Structure formats: structure tokens, C-alpha cells
Structure 1
Amino acid sequence: MAIELYDYIVEQPLVLKRMLEHSKQMTKEFTDIFASQTVSRIILAGSGSSYNAACSAKYFMQKLLQIQVDVQTAHTFTSYENILDKETLVVGISQSGESTAAVNSIRKANEQGLTSLGVTAEEGSYITEHASCKMIVPSGEEEAGATTKGYTATVLAFYLAALETAYRLNRVDEQEYQSYRDGIAKTIDSIPVAIRKADEWYEKHRSELLKAKTLIVSGYGSNYGTALEAGLKFLETSRFPVSVYELEEFMHGPYNAIDEDSYIFFLVPEGTGKERALRLNEFFCRKTEHSFMVLKDDGNPDDKNIRIPFHEHADFTPLEYIVPLQVLFFRLAKDKGVEMRTVRYPDFHGYMNSKRRFE
């Protein structure tokens, strides 16, 4: 029986736990850079899920490393970024390691005499041939279409790189270090229940979701990256129009397009933005019957919103908030009859020269 995308969703806790257990080995080259030279800025350059993972990890990295962390699409960095100095670390991200855009960002860094780090799941891939250092994310292959475990593994890899480096540089003490690791472990432990609850919610709302012609996903803070990832995967799997908005930006124009046929998912973790998200959802529930929230289960009965017993550590919510949406985009695409393993345009990367294997 062929492996389905859902199998990789279920596999995520095992992959993430293994990464946590071997975090020092996985992040060694990253931490060595900081131990051997001054780094005052990191540029994370990637495309698609790699870019989204960087957006989700950015604020935790800044918090622990106490330096500026910028996230740019790989092509934008290569083509337009001109403000660089010798204390800038350029990180090119590509799960397959074959993205020409990510490799070109590494090449640019090398040409300007900057330290470069390739982040990929594939040892010996294109990006590792060019980067001066590497971080191999042991997520394993995904052969069922859209990335799932590769995304969460990349987010966690950046969390662990920041944590191990901050610990090595004495920017967090032993107690803080262990507390963060415990928070990550408990977040990972919440994933199986999140999968089950999302399955249950989808079954209740299946007929309603199958009528959706378009979809909007909105998040804030580090979960704007989660929203970007969810939107991308609905596009890749169900293959219908999806828009993604940062919560506040949703209020500056896009809200005018909402009507009774609109389908919206708001990601609503604790923290700055939650009250605004609750209020925005309340407003749109008067305009459409299809405005939903993904949030922590507080024990109140609720047949409409996706309430999950998340661990909800303030820094690590992207690892768990993406999970119910992964279940939804898989279930919806499968019920729509989309063959997710089949590439819709197999000649695309060859025509655009965007992957090495097609060069």
C-alpha cells in the first residue's frame, strides 16, 4: 500500500523527538560558527515551506541569540539585497537541497566573503556542495506530495540551533536551557491528540468544507509563518485559490472582499494578537457561516471552532498549530479526489530551471 501524506503527518512526533535527542550533533556546525566568529545578523533565505519555516522560527532565534534575524525569499536576497557586512551569516534553506534559488543565495554569500550555512534534509545535495557549513535536518524523504514533516522539522531545527548556541555562549543558563527543552518535548507530545481532534472536527464539517471555492488563512506573530504554510499546502493539495494575511493586515483592505461564501481560518494562540483575532472572527461570523478559529481547548463545548488541547508554550506554538491544518488539507484534497502524489505540471521545474535535477 502506497504511503500517503497523512502517514507523514502522523510520523512527525517521532521525527521531532529524535531531533531533540540529537540536537547537539545536528546543530554543531551552526554553533561552531558563533563560537569562532562574531555574528551580528542572520539572513534566512528560502522558498516555499523553507521560507515559511524561517518566518515561524525568526522571533525565537532573535530572542535567544540577541541579534537581528531577517527572513527573505532566496531569489529576493540574491537579486536585491545589498546591505551586507562580514558579520552577516547567510543561511540558505532547501529541504531537497536542490533549489537553485537557495543555492544562488549561498553563492552570493560566498562571493562576498560571508559565512554561509546550508540547511537541508539531504546530505550530499546541491546546496551542501556550495555552503561553507551545513545543518542536516533528519526529516527523511516525503514521497506523497506536499511537505509536512519536513516543515515542522525545519522549524524545530532552527529552534534547536538557537537554543544550543545560546547555551554554548552562556546567553541562557542551565535552568533556562532545560526549561526550553522541556517546553519543546511537551509541545511534541501534544501532536498526536491534535491529529485526532482535527480528524474528528473534519468529519463533522466535511460536507461544508467540500463546498468551499476559495479559502483565507490568517495568523500573527510567529504563526503568520504557520498561516503561510497552511495556505501554501491548501493550494498544493486541494488546488483552489487561497489567500493568506497577517492578522492586522487583513483589516487594511482585504476584509472588503468577505461575503457569505467566504471560508476563513484564524490561528489564535495566546499572546499579543489574540483579542484582536477573537474580535475579528466575531465580526465575520455575522457575515459568513464559515469563519473558524484554531485555538487551545479551554473546556467549553464548541461545535464550530477547532479546539485542540495544545501545550501552547509561548515560543513553540508553530510546531503544533500547523498540525490540525495539515490534517484538513490532506482530508479535503483526498475527498476532492486530488491525486496528491501526481505532479500537476511535471515539466515546470525543467522549463523554469528552478531545481538542479532539471538543469
Structure 2
Amino acid sequence: MTVNLMHQYILEEKEVLLHLLENRKKIVGSVIPSVNNEVRNVYIIGSGTSYHAALAAKPLIEEVTNWEVHPTYPTHFMQEKISDSKNNLVLGISQGGSSLSTINGIKRAQKMNIPTVGISEYKDSNLADISDYYLPIEVGDQEKAGAKTKGYVASILTLMLFSLEFSEYNQLLSDEKYNNYLARMKKTFEKLDEIVDASEEWVYHIKDDLTNAREIMVIGYGSHYATVLEGALKLLETVRVPVIGYEMEEYMHGVYNCVSEDSNFIFLASQHENRERLLALEEFLSKVTNHCYLIGSEKTNASPKDLIISRDEDSIFSVFEYIIPLQLLSAVLANEKGIDPAVSKFQNFHQLMKSKS
């Protein structure tokens, strides 16, 4: 089995996450004393994968701190009405550190005397240089594929660890709770090899059905809306057909009218109060199209099109699990179509659009 560079990076995710967890004090600790303990509003600005990472990290951050977290597209941040208060903090994420919209958002915050933290894989990037403080996204060997995978999970965990260390430093968490979060993380990461194996088997079973798909929809809910958006982005970046991610309720508001026998759906059925409604939606759509696939923790009468990845998923940290099958599906389908996901279809796009420095 020949795998591309993107596939190789996915296989490195467990190692990357365990490294970040073990070295958290060294990686994020130097910035913590500089963060005002009166901060209440945290704006996390970034585009694409960086924005999705912020959405995925938000539940944990708000649970362990006294912050209200606002994941925001940089262009939206430029229009936000924000007070120049010491209670605000802006985190800008760009794995390459060259996103001009994120850099412009950092500049706006600084004009308002709001402290800024640049989060990037590259210490010598423009984002790192301009920000007041810098946090690295440590992914081991640099991620050279355009469609980011280990960078996504590393971005989520860096944000989570930043908030945990802040709360531990400012005594917002007891030692018992702090250590419990770390143990839950480690337990999740230790299971990732099993999830990769199960996901690869599932992907190779369904790949022929999806290789020539003309469009795909990904549907989920709760914290996995971030996974829905990131999974859809990975698929469209690599397979290069229209892929749309929907929050379950939003899909039910009119979008179902476009379903046909050629439609392809991937459902994320994580443990959640809305799980039964999503299964009902899958059952309904399965009567229209034969191309329905499900990723979940359990399911009665599961079919070969379903992937059961974990029976004891963590409500917060399962974001590190559910993204893996979508990443692998993207890498394998790209291979099947003869597409190298490490090479952009239009290599001069950002230069022409002036979207990166």
C-alpha cells in the first residue's frame, strides 16, 4: 500500500499529541505569566483549519477558565465592536504564520492596546514577529502538505494546554481537576492507533463508492461541528469536488430539498443528546440515496458503511478521534484520483490574491 505525504502525517498525530502533552510547561508556560488574570474575553482569530481548531478547543477553554471565547474569522474580527479593555486578549493562529488577514487582525488589536499572542509553526514568521507573544505549534518535522492534518490537532491541543496552564497558574483549578484533564487527554491519545487502524479499514472498504462522487455533505452537531467543517475542508482540498459541512439542525432547514440518489453523506454520530435525531435523519436520507456513511461510537444494526471508532469516547477530547477517519478518507481518495494533496492546484493563487505574506 503506497501512502502519500498527507497520510504519513496523519499517522504521526498520536506522537505529536503525546509530545505536546508531556512538554506542555516548556511549550506554553513562558507566556502564561504575561497574561492578565483579569482577562474575560478571548478572541481566537484564524481562517480555515485554524478557525476550526479554535471552535474545537472552545468547550474545554471555557470549562477550565473564566473566559468567554470568541472563535472569529479575521475579516469578521476587523468589523467587531470591541472595547480596548485590559479584559480582552487576542490569539491569532496561522500554521504558516503568513496569513495576511490574521496579521491584520493582530495589528488592529494592538492599535486598541489589546495584548496579542501569535500561534504558528514558525518562530521566524511574520505573525510571530508582529505579535506581543508567541506560542509554537510543535508538529515534529515541518508539515509540508497543503492540507493540514497534524497541524490541526496540534493547534487544538496547544489552545487547550494554554488554557489549562493559565488556570493552573492562577489557581482556577484544583490539582485534582487539573490532573484529571491531563489523564483524560492521555487516555484519548493512547487510543489513536486503534482508531487509525479501524479508520483505514473503513476507508479502503468505501473508497470505490466515493472516488467518483460529484459532491459530498458532512453532517454533525455539538463540538463536532468543528470536525464537520474541518473534515469537509480536508475533502474538498484533496478530492477537489464540492464538499459542504452542515450542523445537523441547519441541514434540516431546507437543505434536504437538494438530496438525490447521487447524493453522498457522512454523518458524525458522537455521543450527544441529538444523536437519535441524527440517526433518524440518516434513516430518512438512506431511503433516497444508497451513499450514506456514518462515524460513531456505537450503532444498532451497523452496516459495513459505518465506522464504530470508540465505545467510551470523551465528550471533550473526542475531537481528536473523529477527525482521523475524515483525514484518512481525504488522503486515500486523493491517491485514488492521482492527486498529490501536498501540491496546490493553483500554486500562484495566494500571490495573485495577496492573501499571504
Could you state the TM-score of these two structures normalised by the residue count of structure 2?
Answer: 0.95
Q: Which residue is equivalent to 2:174? A: 173
Sort the Cα spacing of 1:148 and 1:254 in 2 relative to 1 into closer, same or farther, 3 A. same
Residue identity in the other structure for 2:120: T
Distance (whole Å) between structure 1 residues aligned to residue 37 and residue 14 of structure 2? 34
Distance (whole Å) between structure 2 residues aligned to residue 250 and residue 225 of structure 1? 15
> What is the Cα deviation at residue 250 of structure 1?
0.8
SS of the aligned residue for 1:287 comes to coil
For the pair 1:139 / 2:139, whether they are aligned, the reply is yes
> What is the Cα deviation at residue 55 of structure 1?
0.8
> What is the Cα deviation at residue 59 of structure 1?
1.6
Distance (whole Å) between structure 2 residues aligned to residue 243 and residue 272 of structure 1? 23
Q: Which residue is equivalent to 1:7? A: 8
> What is the Cα deviation at residue 32 of structure 1?
2.0
Residue identity in the other structure for 2:347: P
SS of the aligned residue for 2:226 comes to helix
- Greater alpha carbon shift after TM alignment, 269-278 vs 124-133: 269-278
Residue identity in the other structure for 1:70: H
Kept in 2, the 8 Å contact 1:190–1:311? The answer is no
Residue identity in the other structure for 2:95: Q
Q: Which residue is equivalent to 1:115? A: 115
Distance (whole Å) between structure 2 residues aligned to residue 222 and residue 254 of structure 1? 21
Distance (whole Å) between structure 2 residues aligned to residue 355 and residue 301 of structure 1? 45
Q: Which residue is equivalent to 1:84? A: 83
Q: Which residue is equivalent to 1:228? A: 229
Q: Which residue is equivalent to 2:27? A: 26
Residue identity in the other structure for 1:93: I
Q: Which runs of 5+ in 2 are unaligned?
A: none
> What is the Cα deviation at residue 300 of structure 1?
6.5
For the pair 1:331 / 2:332, whether they are aligned, the reply is yes
SS of the aligned residue for 1:216 comes to strand
- Greater alpha carbon shift after TM alignment, 16-25 vs 296-305: 296-305
Kept in 1, the 8 Å contact 2:3–2:332? The answer is no
For the pair 1:308 / 2:291, whether they are aligned, the reply is no
Distance (whole Å) between structure 2 residues aligned to residue 317 and residue 301 of structure 1? 20
Distance (whole Å) between structure 1 residues aligned to residue 109 and residue 311 of structure 2? 39
Kept in 2, the 8 Å contact 1:296–1:308? The answer is yes
Distance (whole Å) between structure 1 residues aligned to residue 116 and residue 16 of structure 2? 26
SS of the aligned residue for 1:265 comes to strand
Distance (whole Å) between structure 1 residues aligned to residue 205 and residue 37 of structure 2? 55
Q: Which residue is equivalent to 2:56? A: 56
> What is the Cα deviation at residue 299 of structure 1?
9.0
> What is the Cα deviation at residue 311 of structure 1?
4.7
Q: Which residue is equivalent to 2:43? A: 43
- Greater alpha carbon shift after TM alignment, 278-287 vs 290-299: 290-299
Count the aligned residue pairs: 354
For the pair 1:295 / 2:302, whether they are aligned, the reply is no
Give the percent of matched residue pairs that are identical in Structure 1 and Structure 2.
Answer: 33
Distance (whole Å) between structure 2 residues aligned to residue 258 and residue 30 of structure 1? 49
Could you state the TM-score of these two structures normalised by the residue count of structure 1?
Answer: 0.94
Q: Which residue is equivalent to 1:237? A: 238
- Greater alpha carbon shift after TM alignment, 102-111 vs 340-349: 340-349
Q: Which runs of 5+ in 1 are unaligned?
A: none
Kept in 2, the 8 Å contact 1:263–1:291? The answer is yes
Distance (whole Å) between structure 1 residues aligned to residue 43 and residue 276 of structure 2? 31
Structure 1's consecutive aligned runs of 4 or more residues displaced over 4 angstroms after TM superposition are 297-301
Distance (whole Å) between structure 1 residues aligned to residue 45 and residue 120 of structure 2? 12
> What is the Cα deviation at residue 317 of structure 1?
1.1
Distance (whole Å) between structure 2 residues aligned to residue 37 and residue 179 of structure 1? 23
Residue identity in the other structure for 1:119: I
